[in-house]
C-alpha cells in the first residue's frame, strides 16, 4: 500500500550475513496485539538462521510494550511467549501450552519475530511483566529462566533435591547458567559444571557450582543436565549417569545422533528426558526466580546495542565473546 507505515528489520540472509532493511509494519489480525519491541535477546539457536537464512524475521526472546489503542493490554510491558497454542486441546487444558497438539508454530521461527521494531502477537502469547523488572532483564524470563527452570522442575520429579544428589551441568552458556541458578533455587546443593570457556566457567562457579573437567570420567552423577547440544557430551552423559538417574536434554543439535547400545547403555536403569520451553503456568514462579536472583541474572546481559550494530554484534556473539547480548530499542515516550 502506498504510504503504508514501515519499520526497520534485520534480514538473516544466510552465509552469516544480516542486512538492515525497511518492511511494512505488521497489521495485527483479530485476537492479536501490536507490540513495540524494547529488547530482543540474542540466542545461539539463531545461528542456524544466520548460516542458512530465515524465511521470517528472526528473534524469539522478545520483550516489549503493547501499542495498540483500544486493546485491553495497551501500554502494558510484556514478554512474548513464542509457542502459538489453541488453549483448547488436551495438552493446553492440562496446562502444557508449550506442547499444543493443534498448533505447531513458533514466533521468530514460523512467523515474524523480534529482530525488528514491531511484532504482531496473539493475545494469549502476551505475558505481562511487572514494573520492578528492568527492560534488559525482561527477555531472560523466556529462554534463560523459563526453559532452564522448566527442565529442572521436570527432572526433580525423578531425582528429588531432598536426596542430596550430585548434579552435573554440561555447557555454561545462558541456558546452562540459568539451569545452575534454578538448581540452587530449588534446593540442589551439589551442582557441578563443565565448560571449555574459562570466562563462562568462572561465572558458573560464582553462582555456586563446582568446576568439573570437560570429558572427565572420574565421577558419576544422579542427574546430568546437558545444555551444550554436543553429541560427545550426550554420549558421555550415558556413561556417567548413575542407575535410577536422569539425563536431561536441553541443548539442541539438528545433526543426527547415534546411540551405541553397548553394555554401558543396556545394563542400568536410567531416564532420558527431553524438555522444551516452559508452560505459561510456570511464569509467576519464573518471575520470583528473577526477583530472587536479579544481580546474578543481570551479569549475563553483557552487551546492549541498537539495530544498526546487530550484524557486527551477532558475529561477535557467534564467536562466543558475549553471553546474553540484547538488541535494544529505546522508547519514544
pLDDT digits (tens, 9 = 90+) for 2-40: 567 999 999 999 999 999 999 999 999 999 999 999 999
**Based on the domain organization, do 61 and 122 belong to the same domain?**
yes
pLDDT on residue 319:
92
Residue 137 lies in a domain: no
Q: Mean pLDDT over residues 205-227, rounded?
A: 97
pLDDT above 50 for 210: yes
CA-based nearest residue to 188, from 166, 219, 221, 220? 166
Q: Which residues does 50 contact at the CB level (< 8 Å), separation at least 6?
A: 12, 14, 16, 18, 314, 318
Mean pLDDT taken over the chain? 96
Residue 283 lies in a domain: no
**Based on the domain organization, do 191 and 107 belong to the same domain?**
no
Q: How confident is the model at residue 333 (pLDDT cuts 50, 70, 90)?
A: very low
Residue 25 lies in a domain: yes
Q: Mean pLDDT over residues 41-56, rounded?
A: 96
Q: What is the CATH number of the domain that holds 187?
A: 3.40.50.720
pLDDT on residue 332:
44
**Based on the domain organization, do 112 and 179 belong to the same domain?**
no
Residue 290 lies in a domain: no
pLDDT on residue 318:
95
pLDDT above 80 for 221: yes
pLDDT above 50 for 176: yes
Residue 134 lies in a domain: no
Share of the chain above pLDDT 70, in %: 98
Contacts 24+ apart (CB under 8 A), 321-326: 322/42, 323/173, 323/174, 323/177, 323/200, 323/203, 324/41, 324/42, 324/140, 324/144, 324/174, 324/300, 325/41, 325/42, 325/301, 326/39, 326/40, 326/41, 326/42, 326/136, 326/139, 326/301
**Based on the domain organization, do 188 and 125 belong to the same domain?**
no
Cα–Cα dist 289/187, whole Å: 13
Residue 110 Cα to chain centre, angstroms: 17
- DSSP code string of 253-307: --S--PPP--HHHHSS--EEEE--S--GGGHHHHHHHHHHTHHHHHHH---EE-G
Range of the domain at 240: 146-274
pLDDT on residue 330:
77
Cα–Cα dist 258/143, whole Å: 27
Residue 297 lies in a domain: no
**Based on the domain organization, do 12 and 100 belong to the same domain?**
yes
Residue 5 has a CB neighbour count (10 Å cut-off) of 9
Q: How confident is the model at residue 331 (pLDDT cuts 50, 70, 90)?
A: low
**Based on the domain organization, do 164 and 68 belong to the same domain?**
no
> pTM for the complete prediction?
0.94
pLDDT above 90 for 153: yes
pLDDT on residue 2:
57
Distance between the two ends of the chain, CA-based, in angstroms?
28
pLDDT above 90 for 254: no
pLDDT above 90 for 317: yes
Residue 296 lies in a domain: no
Q: What is the CATH number of the domain that holds 311?
A: 3.90.180.10
Question: Virtual CA dihedral for 199, 201, 204, 208, nearest 10 degrees?
Answer: -120
**Based on the domain organization, do 167 and 211 belong to the same domain?**
yes
For the chain, the domain total comes to 2
Amino acid at each position: 500500500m502506498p504510504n503504508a507505515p514501515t519499520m526497520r528489520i534485520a534480514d538473516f540472509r544466510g552465509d552469516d550475513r544480516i542486512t538492515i532493511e525497511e518492511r511494512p509494519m505488521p497489521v495485527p489480525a483479530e485476537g492479536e496485539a501490536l507490540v513495540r519491541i524494547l529488547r530482543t535477546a540474542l540466542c545461539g539457536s539463531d545461528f542456524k538462521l544466520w548460516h542458512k537464512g530465515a524465511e521470517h524475521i528472526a528473534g524469539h526472546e522478545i520483550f516489549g510494550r503493547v501499542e495498540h489503542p483500544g486493546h485491553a493490554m495497551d501500554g502494558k510491558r510484556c514478554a512474548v511467549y513464542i509457542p502459538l497454542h489453541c488453549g483448547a486441546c488436551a495438552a493446553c487444558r492440562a496446562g502444557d501450552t508449550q506442547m499444543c497438539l493443534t498448533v505447531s508454530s513458533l514466533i521468530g521461527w514460523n512467523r515474524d519475530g523480534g529482530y525488528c521494531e514491531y511484532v504482531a502477537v496473539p493475545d494469549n502469547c502476551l505475558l505481562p511483566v511487572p514494573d520492578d523488572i528492568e527492560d534488559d532483564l525482561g527477555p531472560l524470563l523466556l529462554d534463560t529462566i523459563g526453559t532452564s527452570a522448566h527442565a529442572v522442575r521436570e527432572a526433580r520429579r525423578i531425582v528429588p533435591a531432598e536426596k542430596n544428589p550430585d548434579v552435573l551441568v554440561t555447557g555454561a552458556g545462558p541456558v546452562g547458567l540459568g539451569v545452575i541458578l534454578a538448581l540452587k533455587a530449588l534446593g540442589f546443593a551439589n551442582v557441578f559444571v563443565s565448560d571449555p570457556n574459562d570466562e563462562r566457567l568462572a561465572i558458573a562457579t560464582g553462582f555456586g557450582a563446582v568446576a568439573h573437567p570437560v570429558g572427565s570420567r572420574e565421577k558419576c552423577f544422579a542427574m546430568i543436565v546437558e545444555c551444550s547440544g554436543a553429541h560427545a557430551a550426550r554420549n558421555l552423559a550415558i556413561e556417567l549417569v548413575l542407575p535410577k538417574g536422569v539425563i536431561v536434554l536441553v541443548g539442541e543439535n539438528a545433526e543426527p545422533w547415534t546411540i551405541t547400545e553397548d553394555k554401558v547403555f543396556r545394563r542400568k536403569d536410567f531416564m532420558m528426558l527431553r524438555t522444551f520451553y516452559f508452560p505459561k503456568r510456570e511464569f509467576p514462579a519464573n518471575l520470583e526466580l528473577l526477583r530472587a536472583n536479579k544481580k546474578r541474572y543481570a551479569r549475563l546481559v553483557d552487551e546492549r546495542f541498537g539495530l544498526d550494530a546487530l550484524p557486527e554484534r551477532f558475529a561477535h556473539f557467534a564467536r562466543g565473546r558475549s553471553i546474553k547480548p540484547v538488541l535494544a530499542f529505546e522508547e519514544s515516550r
